[in-house]
Structure 1
Amino acid sequence: MGELNTLTGLFRSRRRALPVLLAVLSVLPTLSYASGYIYRYLDDNGNVVVGHSIPAEYVDNGYEMLNSDYSVYKEFAPAPTAEEIASRTEAQKARIVAEREAERLQQWDESLLLRYSSIEDIEAARERALSELQIRISILKGNVRSLKAQVENNQTRAADVERRGGEVPEEILSAIDALRYEIDEAEKNIIERSREKEEVYAGFERDIGRFEQLLEKVEIRRRYSRSALE
């Protein structure tokens, strides 16, 4: 009878110990990760989730790595959206364009200051360049007049042959074709040189405008220096 009571007591004590044992077992997974990190993130419903791992589909949404005491160890920002990436790309492009423009202006300014000391110098250089181009145009126009005269001369020879009832020699016809080709090429060159003349004039005008800006900057610095000394 005493043995039966003893067994019953042991059984009852084990039943009382079972909830405690289960509680301990439930804590064991957490304890086993005590030396690792814990992740905190938002699920699709906007709920905060804390766990020892994070599903791959939530990584791009941003998350936090926590220490075992739930203090934040490191934060990971959400991955940029397509719009944000496009905006950053445009900003980078704009910055690159701005940097290149600044470099171009610097090189332009240095070149102007090396070549010229006044606006009159630029105007004189412009007239020289335009004069050289005009000379080339005049030469080309003279060549065209000469070539056209040769064409007319060969055409007169061909007409004389035909009036006499003969057949125009191939050399005359070939000469006329060759002269007409040279005329076309010369007239194209005249058009190109005329366009170049306009571009050169416009380029010097830009140089003059930029040089005036440089002079204004120099004058402003001089005024500032004088006022500082006073």
Structure 2
Amino acid sequence: MYRWVDENGNVYFSDQVPPDQVQHKRETLTEKARIVETVEKAKTAEELAQQKRLDALRKEQEKIVAKQAANDKVLLSTFRSLDDMEKALGNKLASFDAKRKVIEGNIERLQSQLLKQEQQAAEHERNGQKVPGKLLDEIAATKQQIGQSNQELADHHSERQNTEKAFRADMARFQFLTQANADAKAANSSLAASNAGNELGLFVCQDAEQCQKAWKLAGEFVAANSSTGPDVETEKLIMRAAPQQDDDLSLSASLLEQGKVRQIFLDIRCRQSSLGNELCNSAKVKSLRQSFAPYLQSGLAAQQ
């Protein structure tokens, strides 16, 4: 026996589905009215287009998730403890500091050299002599070298800061991974697909500055609407732990960059079960996805 509901809300029961009714969602029932199979309604052209875009976004997100998993593997195979990481960071920073001293020494040497060259030029002028062209060229070359060395020092300082920031982020991630419980394996499961007809949870940034602010708001949205604990939080991926219960919702946000276009994509995972799939196909999840971009827009407007 089949059961379906038409576009007017009328419920039908029959042992056959008429050809003009096959586009509706239908359920196959046993003699005791137990549902044994569900066939979703036929998708519209708009829904098919949304599904295609959603699949493309998920592929981009899966790349980020895969990259994170690979980084985690390298991290755990490289270090045994936080103490090891502290020592490694200390060695890196010491190397940076040693190079900084070399650059600063070169700048001091060049400044001393420039001072002597300028004194020679001044001596010629006091004696009413024309400053030799060779000396002028040497002064110009020394000034250029000092400028290049100062830029090298600034670049070196920036590189040191970025290296320390990235290393400390790795330390925080290592601490999380080593303290994770047995459910960590489940947390790396693939993203579950939600209803193809849902609106895309996608926010397009106007510029890098707006995207930075929106990314923080996206993290707040993910935390507030997920029923599972934190898992991954990087500059391009915020993902909550995998759902364990049928009523769990696990949200994730990913920052996708294609050329100069920056987008923040929301995805929602449910447990891989009949009830979990039903939840991901529910109006609740659809509404949650639809509210993502307005939430970011409202938060950005409040900050202006």
1:184 corresponds to which residue?
147
After superposition, the Cα gap between the structure-2 partners of 1:191 and 1:86, relative to the gap in structure 1 and judged at 3 Å, is farther
Q: State the alpha-carbon separation in 1 of the partners of residues 43 and 153 from structure 2.
A: 63
2:119 corresponds to which residue?
156
What letter is aligned with 1:221?
Answer: A
The match for 2:80 among 117, 127, 143 is 117
Task: Please tell me whether residue 201 in structure 1 is matched to residue 164 in structure 2.
Answer: yes
Deviation at 1:86, TM superposition (A): 4.8
5 Å matches for 1:99-138? 99-138=62-101
Deviation at 1:74, TM superposition (A): 11
CA RMSD of aligned residues (A): 2.5
Deviation at 1:100, TM superposition (A): 1.1
Deviation at 1:78, TM superposition (A): 6.6
Task: Please tell me whether residue 80 in structure 1 is matched to residue 41 in structure 2.
Answer: no
Deviation at 1:176, TM superposition (A): 0.4
**After TM superposition, which residue ranges in structure 1, 4 or more long, deviate above 2 angstroms?**
71-79, 84-90
Q: State the alpha-carbon separation in 2 of the partners of residues 78 and 136 from structure 1.
A: 62
What letter is aligned with 1:178?
Answer: A
Q: State the alpha-carbon separation in 1 of the partners of residues 57 and 82 from structure 2.
A: 33
Deviation at 1:195, TM superposition (A): 0.3
Deviation at 1:85, TM superposition (A): 4.8
After superposition, the Cα gap between the structure-2 partners of 1:176 and 1:135, relative to the gap in structure 1 and judged at 3 Å, is same
Deviation at 1:200, TM superposition (A): 0.7
Deviation at 1:134, TM superposition (A): 1.1
Structure with more helix by fraction: 1
Larger Rg: 1
1:221 corresponds to which residue?
182
After superposition, the Cα gap between the structure-2 partners of 1:179 and 1:109, relative to the gap in structure 1 and judged at 3 Å, is same
Deviations 1:40-99 (A, max 9, x none): xxxxxxxxxxxxxxxxxxxxxxxxxxxxxxx74996857503xx3552244123311331
Size of the alignment, in residue pairs? 150
Structure with more strand by fraction: 2
What letter is aligned with 1:139?
Answer: V
Q: State the alpha-carbon separation in 2 of the partners of residues 78 and 206 from structure 1.
A: 44
Q: State the alpha-carbon separation in 1 of the partners of residues 154 and 49 from structure 2.
A: 45
Could you tell me which runs of 5 or more consecutive residues in structure 2 were left unpaired when the two chains were aligned: 1-17, 24-41, 184-304
Deviation at 1:114, TM superposition (A): 1.6
After superposition, the Cα gap between the structure-2 partners of 1:85 and 1:79, relative to the gap in structure 1 and judged at 3 Å, is closer
Could you tell me which runs of 5 or more consecutive residues in structure 1 were left unpaired when the two chains were aligned: 1-70, 223-230
After superposition, the Cα gap between the structure-2 partners of 1:108 and 1:101, relative to the gap in structure 1 and judged at 3 Å, is same
What letter is aligned with 1:146?
Answer: R
Deviation at 1:102, TM superposition (A): 1.7
Q: State the alpha-carbon separation in 2 of the partners of residues 191 and 169 from structure 1.
A: 34
Q: State the alpha-carbon separation in 2 of the partners of residues 203 and 194 from structure 1.
A: 14
What letter is aligned with 1:166?
Answer: Q
Q: State the alpha-carbon separation in 2 of the partners of residues 78 and 102 from structure 1.
A: 29
Deviation at 1:138, TM superposition (A): 1.1
Task: Give me the identity figure in percent.
Answer: 23
Q: State the alpha-carbon separation in 2 of the partners of residues 85 and 152 from structure 1.
A: 73
2:104 corresponds to which residue?
141
Deviation at 1:112, TM superposition (A): 0.7
TM-score (norm 2): 0.46
The match for 2:57 among 85, 88, 94 is 94
Deviation at 1:113, TM superposition (A): 1.4
Deviations 1:174-193 (A, max 9, x none): 00000011001100010001
What letter is aligned with 1:80?
Answer: A
